[in-house]
Each structure stands twice: as C-alpha cells, then as structure tokens.
Chain A
C-alpha cells in the first residue's frame, strides 16, 4: 500500500457491482424491473434436463424464481470440472455489466495475490450431488462425472471465481445460511483493514435444488402463490436463485466509487435453529451494530431493504426489531417478491438493490403486497417512492440465528 493510504482508516468503497436474478442479467435489468414493478416469480416446474428422471417426485405447488439460460451455459473446457448449476450461475453472472473487465482491472492494479476472493453460498453444488445419487440408482459408487471438490464442497464457488479471474489472494466461502453473502462484505473489509488484502471481490451464488425446495416444504414455509412479504395473508417464501458480485477497494486508490461501505453489524439470535427470536433481538443487535460502526443516528438512514421473507414469523419479528431501532421514521420494503428468496445469495443481490436505490434516488415498494399486516409497523412501502437519501441499510438473517446488516453510503 502507498504510504498515504491507511488500511486501518481509509474508507472502503464499492467500485463496481452486478447481480443476476430471475428478473434478468445485470444491473439495468434489475433496475428496470424494480422501477416498472415487474416481478419474475413463476409456478414451480423446476427440473433441469439432467433431472428429468426426477419427474416421479411429487410436484410442489409453489412459485420460484429461476434464472433464465442457466441450463444452456457451457463452461469453457478448462473449467469443466466446476460444472454444476451453481457455478453456471456464477459464470452467467460474471458476464454481466462488463464486470469481468473491472475485476481484471483490479487484479492488474493490486496484483493477483492482493485481491481477496470471499463468497457466500448455502446450496453450493447440491443439485449436482442430488443428481449423482440419483444416477447411482440406490447402490454402488457415485458416477465418475461427479467432482466433489469443485461442485458440492461449499468452497467450490470461490475456487471457481478465483480460477476464472486468475486471483491468488486469500479466499474462502462464508456459509451461514441466508446471511452468507451479506457477511462477505464484513469479512472482506476485515481482511483489507488488517492489511491482508488491498481489494476484494465479494459475492454470493445460490441455485435451485431439491433439498431447499422440499426442505422448506417440510417446514411448511413455501408459499403456494408468489410471496407477499408483510401482507396479512402472506403464506411463506418463494425460493429464487441468482449470482451477485461486488468489488471493494480503498477510496483513495479506486478509480471509481459507486458507494461507500459505511458499516456492518453481525449477531446471533441464540434462540432457535430455524425460527427467529420473536422480538427480533438478534436483528436489533445487527442493525444497531451497523449504525454504530457507521457512526450514524437511525434517522440518517433513508431506506431499509428488509430481509422480509414473507413467512409469518420472520416478518413480525423483523418488523418489531426495525420498530425498536428506527421507530416508524424510516421507510422499508422487501424486494423478495420480485425474484424470490435467494438464500445464500440474498445478501449480495439485496445489497445490489440497495445500491441501485441509493444511486437512482428511489425506494422500491414491496411488490404483491397491497394490505399491510397490522402486526407489522406502518412504515412499510407498498409503492415505489421517489426519494433521495444518503444511507441505505440492508438486512439478511439466516437459519442458526445468523444476522447481518449492511449500511451503504452515497459518495459525497
């Protein structure tokens, strides 16, 4: 690092980002979907070609957010061992918004070994393992085409991105269920603050698979229609998939800066493995931690992108937590009704939504939700709001009681 840049104090900025979800590939598709209020959840017919034989599984009546074109992705031959739905999604996502070129610029500016590669996922290549078990037909070894380390192991997606970009910096995967790819911002910022890296590529990738579909099904948390966060008659989540990426650099060295990573807060519910604390205690701690780190008063935040899964328990608990920290002064919404709950990729894609809102001066209103649950506070946006604000907060909470709140700030 040049002597005029303090890795302990220099602001950390987002110098580029991209997201690919069911509403389309890249930032512009996401922004247009948000502005025109067009969601992309559809009736679940999930089953990629390789899984046609899974047809005998009973079909789930729910809505999902599949990304178009994933099945058709063909990885270059030298990356063939990484081939699985999760890494195909990563590949598709990396091609958007000229992000690869920006990532290469960062590699060349700092050196391949000074760029951290920190990713979040919950599913990793689970679908590939499901396929492999099906292919062995109840006995015998798994098929030779199944590559454990580069598909199923949770590190697979970070290894894939490092390989694609030729990066050799510190690298690992955060896997804390649905907070995974929010926590990557905190983890990467720590590596930069400690002087272990000069920049980072962070992100999250999660892909549709049978385990999450039937798992959430058995918990009776799947909505039979497109999810309606915070609506009085909400019936659960819609599962989605996607990939998101961001580049983090120190402000003084970044040739462009789209927003500042102003703060983050992390906490544990210590309450239950799959239900939130009823008062959102851990959520409160995460939001307060992020405010404290950013040096902000609650009223300085202009928009909250809620976790808002549309389960009965989450929305009540999160509503109470937000009310406890922010009162009713800050508008908030859940954007999961556009593209679904992306689980391990929820943090990064909703960070992308938050960054778009900050930069395009609007707050998206919760899609599909017309009436608000009286148990949830009244600050919930159900229509888009034109608004200019300096700070946006994004919440991500996961199984195991893992919570993370991020605050991004406008560049001044």
Chain B
C-alpha cells in the first residue's frame, strides 16, 4: 500500500481532552491544566445539537480539531468512521424501554441507534456530500478503520478523514462489555507529502500474530488503551508525539495484525 501522511490530528477523552493534552501525557511532560469538558457541538444546527449523543459529540470535537490542525476544509473530503458499538447508551435505552413494555420509541432515539449516526451528524454539520463508511470489528474496529482509510488513499489517491470513537455502555450491558471512558481520535490523512505534516505512515495487514502488540508506556494511558476499543490507537499516537521512527503493531480480527510503520516528517 502507498504511504499516508498525517496532516492533522484530534483527540478527545476525559483524560486527554485535546491533541495538545494527549501529546504532553504521552511524552510524560507536565500537563497544562486543560478543560476536560466535551466542547459544545457548535457545528450543528440547534435542533441536531440537542439530539446528538455522547459519541456524536466526541466525533464532532475530534474531527474539528483534526481539520483545524491540517488547515483543511471538510468540503468533499471522504470519511472513514470506525466504532465497536456506535452509540451504546442508545442500545441500553431501547432495550430497557422495550423490556418494560414501552413501545413508544422516540424517533430521535431510533435514528440515533444506527451505527453511522455520528457520521450522519458530521456530514450535516460540515455539509459534506462525499463518500462515508462506518465500520465495526469489535475490539479491532480502529485497526480495521485505519486499514480501510489507507486502502481508500491507495486506490483513490484522495485525502480522507479517519475517525475512531467508542463510548461506554450504560445499564447491564456495561457489566459484560466494560468500556471505561469515551475516547475519540481523528486523523487527517493525505496521499502526498506536504509542509507541516506530522508523519508518514505505511500500514500492512499480516495474517499472523507473530509480533508483540504495541502498548503504552505510562500505566494510566495503558489503562485507557485497554478499556476502550478506539484507544487501541494510543501507541500510534505516542509514536506521532515522539516524532521518532517506530513500528506499531495493532490487533486485527481473524488472527491478523496491522503493522504501522511511522516515519516523522
């Protein structure tokens, strides 16, 4: 596959509420006091803003940050969204209501239940008509999304916005599928090198589990990595923060691995 160039990045989780904060933590630098609240989804029209789920708000925060970092307009930029469970709080709400015999499902809750809801809100927020995929692969969702994004750049020679996000389940599903905190990351990926880019990345899927998986050095970040499927990308973010060559190994489905070679620009 051809290389992709990271032109912008956005991150949000309560511990890492921006790329700046994420970078400082990953490098073990003192973290400047930052606002850990999720920014308001001010991209959206008021009606949609009220309807947006936690997952959607995380997605809007990280996409905005990545696009601003890259200096890109969303215009006709294709998007690749990856998530293990979309808006899992909605799944709990729907199942709880139905089990209680309440069949008056709120229309907003119903349309928020689709896996591509965040992608839909994003496209409305930025008026983007380009192609958009939302995919899932359980714990390997983020790696699958990064593969799809690289494949898109390789085959279409287009820039693209890649987003991975996951939020916690609520209710009894939280006990059997524990996701600790919401986590979202967006990477603005270009098919050509240019000034101001963070790094070149080359991804390859191997069919064998013969390399040790990449982990985070700091225990508090390793906890985040292990407790949110989208945070499996943290070692890649650590390599981007360190601005040193690295090979990152991520778990994929079916016994495969995604090997990501990172070379700083």
Contacts and interface: CB of A to CB of B under 8 A. Distances in A.
Do A and B associate with each other?
yes
B136 A211 contact: no
Contacts of B144: 170-172
B155 A400 contact: no
Interface residues of B, number: 67
Nearest to B171: A133
Contacts of B111: 219, 273-274, 399-400
Contact of B105 (A113, A191, A218, A267): A218
B133 interface: yes
Nearest to B112: A273
Interface in B83-107: 84-86, 91, 94-96, 98-101, 103-107
B121 A273 contact: yes
B248 to A, nearest CB: 17
Given A148-B173, A168-B207, A400-B120, A267 B131 contact: yes
A384 interface: no
A137 B176 CA distance: 17
B173 A172 contact: no
Contact of B119 (A113, A146, A152, A400): A400
Contacts of B105: 211, 214-215, 217-218
Interface stretch (A13-21, A82-90, A155-163): A155-163
Given A176-B119, A210-B98, A149 B1 contact: no
Among A217, A219, A272, A399, chain B packs the most CB atoms within 10 A around the CB of A399
Among A170, A183, A271, chain B packs the most CB atoms within 10 A around the CB of A170
Given A148-B177, A175-B115, A273-B120, A138 B110 contact: no
Contact of B151 (A190, A214, A266): A190
A270 B128 contact: yes
B253 A194 contact: no
A337 interface: no
Contacts of A146: 176
A43 to B, nearest CB: 18
A140 interface: yes
B135 interface: yes
Interface in B140-198: 140-141, 144, 147-148, 150-152, 154-155, 172-173, 175-177
A25 interface: no
Contacts of B131: 266-268, 289
B15 interface: no
A219 B107 contact: yes
B113 interface: yes
B151 A215 contact: no
A402 B110 contact: no
Interface residues of A, number: 74
Contacts of B121: 273, 400
Contact of B114 (A134, A193, A216, A398): A398
Contacts of A210: 98, 103
Nearest to A218: B105
Given A58-B103, A175-B134, A402 B120 contact: yes
A169 to B, nearest CB: 7
Nearest to B172: A142
B254 A117 contact: yes
B254 A196 contact: no
B107 A211 contact: no
Contacts of A274: 107, 110-111
A190 B99 CA distance: 41
Contacts of B129: 267-270, 281-282, 285
A399 B103 contact: no
B244 interface: no
Given A154-B115, A218-B107, A133 B130 contact: no
B135 A174 contact: yes
23 contacts: A112-B207, A126-B91, A129-B95, A137-B99, A152-B173, A154-B85, A158-B253, A159-B138, A168-B255, A170-B252, A171-B254, A172-B140, A172-B141, A175-B136, A176-B114, A190-B152, A211-B105, A267-B130, A267-B131, A268-B123, A273-B48, A398-B114, A401-B123
Interface of A: 56-58, 112-113, 117, 122, 126, 129-130, 132-134, 136-138, 140-142, 146, 148-149, 152-155, 158-159, 162, 167-177, 183, 187, 190-191, 193-196, 210-211, 214-219, 266-274, 281-282, 285, 289, 398-402
Given A130-B99, A138-B100, A270-B128, 17 more contacts: A113-B207, A117-B254, A129-B95, A141-B175, A162-B254, A168-B207, A168-B255, A170-B253, A172-B137, A175-B135, A176-B133, A183-B133, A193-B155, A211-B94, A217-B103, A270-B127, A281-B129
